[in-house]
Copies of this chain bind each other. A is one copy, B any other.
Amino acid sequence: MLRTTTRHLAALRHVAQPVVMRQASRASVYKSVTLLSRPYATSNNKVVPLTAEKYPGFTRNDQFKKLTEKDVDHFKGIVGESALIYNNEDDLAAFNTDWMNKYRGQSQLVLKPKTTQQVADILKYCNDQRIAVVPQGGNTGLVGGSIPVFDEVVLSLQSMNSIRSFDDVSGILTADAGCILEGLDNWLNEKGYMMPLDLGAKGSCHIGGNLATNAGGLRLLRYGSLHGTVLGLEVVLPDGSILDSMSTLRKDNTGYDLKQLFIGSEGTIGVITGVSILTPRRPKAVNVALLGLNSYDDVQKAFKQSRSELSEILSAFEFWDNNALQIYKKHSDAKPLMESEYPFYVLIETSGSNKDHDDEKLTSYLENMMVDEVAQDGVVAQDETQIKNIWSVREGFTEALGKEAAVYKYDISMPVPKINECLEDMRQHLKDGGVFGQPDSPIIDVVGYGHVGDGNLHLNIAANRIDKRVPELIEPYLFEWVAKQNGSISAEHGLGVAKNQFLSYSKPEGMIKMMKTIKDLLDPNAILNPYKYLPSK
Question: What is A's interface to B at a CB cutoff of 8 Å?
Answer: 167-171, 192, 213-214, 216, 220, 224-225, 227-229, 241-245, 247-258, 260-261, 263-265, 269, 281, 283, 300, 303-304, 307-313, 351-354, 357, 360-361, 413-417, 451, 453-456, 486-495, 499, 503, 506-508, 510-512, 514-515, 517-519, 521, 533-534
A249 touches B488 (CB 8 A): yes
| Contact (A506, B252) CB under 8 Å given A214-B257, A354-B361 | yes
Nearest chain B CB to A397's CB is how many angstroms away? 18
Partner of A511, one of B245, B486, B510, B521: B245
Nearest residue (CB) in B for A217 is B251
Q: How far is the CA of A249 from the CA of B249 in the complex (A)?
A: 27
Nearest residue (CB) in B for A519 is B256
A416 touches B167 (CB 8 A): yes
B244 touches A304 (CB 8 A): no
Q: Given known contacts A249-B491, A254-B503, A256-B515, what 15 new A-B pairs fall within 8 Å (CB)?
A: A214-B257, A220-B250, A224-B224, A225-B228, A228-B229, A249-B486, A251-B488, A251-B491, A253-B490, A256-B518, A257-B263, A258-B261, A258-B518, A260-B260, A357-B357
A514: which B residues are within 8 A, CB to CB? Answer: 243, 258
A510 touches B261 (CB 8 A): no
A245: which B residues are within 8 A, CB to CB? Answer: 507, 511
Q: How far is the CA of A80 from the CA of B317 in the complex (A)?
A: 50
Nearest chain B CB to A330's CB is how many angstroms away? 29
A507 touches B255 (CB 8 A): yes
B214 touches A224 (CB 8 A): no
Nearest chain B CB to A50's CB is how many angstroms away? 26
Q: How far is the CA of A57 from the CA of B530 in the complex (A)?
A: 45
Nearest chain B CB to A252's CB is how many angstroms away? 4
B260 touches A493 (CB 8 A): no
Sample (17) of A-B pairs whose CB atoms are under 8 Å apart: A170-B455, A214-B257, A216-B253, A247-B486, A249-B455, A249-B488, A251-B491, A252-B491, A253-B490, A254-B489, A254-B503, A255-B507, A257-B261, A257-B263, A258-B514, A260-B260, A517-B521
A170: which B residues are within 8 A, CB to CB? Answer: 415-416, 453, 455
Q: How far is the CA of A241 from the CA of B509 in the complex (A)?
A: 11
- Taking the full assembly, how many copies of this chain does it contain? 2
Q: How far is the CA of A251 from the CA of B220 in the complex (A)?
A: 9
Q: How far is the CA of A417 from the CA of B168 in the complex (A)?
A: 10
| Contact (A281, B263) CB under 8 Å given A250-B220, A414-B249, A486-B247 | no
Q: How far is the CA of A353 from the CA of B491 in the complex (A)?
A: 30
A227: which B residues are within 8 A, CB to CB? Answer: 227-228, 257, 260
B311 touches A454 (CB 8 A): no
A255 touches B416 (CB 8 A): no
Interface centre among A251, A264, A352, by most chain B C-beta atoms within 10 angstroms, is A251
A250: which B residues are within 8 A, CB to CB? Answer: 220, 225, 413, 453-456
Nearest chain B CB to A408's CB is how many angstroms away? 19
Nearest residue (CB) in B for A306 is B281
Q: How far is the CA of A220 from the CA of B249 in the complex (A)?
A: 13
A515: which B residues are within 8 A, CB to CB? Answer: 255-256, 258
A503 touches B255 (CB 8 A): yes
A510: which B residues are within 8 A, CB to CB? Answer: 241-244
Q: How far is the CA of A243 from the CA of B514 in the complex (A)?
A: 9
Nearest residue (CB) in B for A502 is B254
Partner of A308, one of B243, B281, B310, B413: B281
A241: which B residues are within 8 A, CB to CB? Answer: 510
A229: which B residues are within 8 A, CB to CB? Answer: 224, 228
Q: How far is the CA of A491 from the CA of B507 in the complex (A)?
A: 33
Partner of A416, one of B169, B310, B353, B360: B169
Q: How far is the CA of A413 from the CA of B492 in the complex (A)?
A: 33
| Contact (A253, B493) CB under 8 Å given A228-B227, A244-B511 | yes
Nearest chain B CB to A308's CB is how many angstroms away? 6
A269: which B residues are within 8 A, CB to CB? Answer: 256
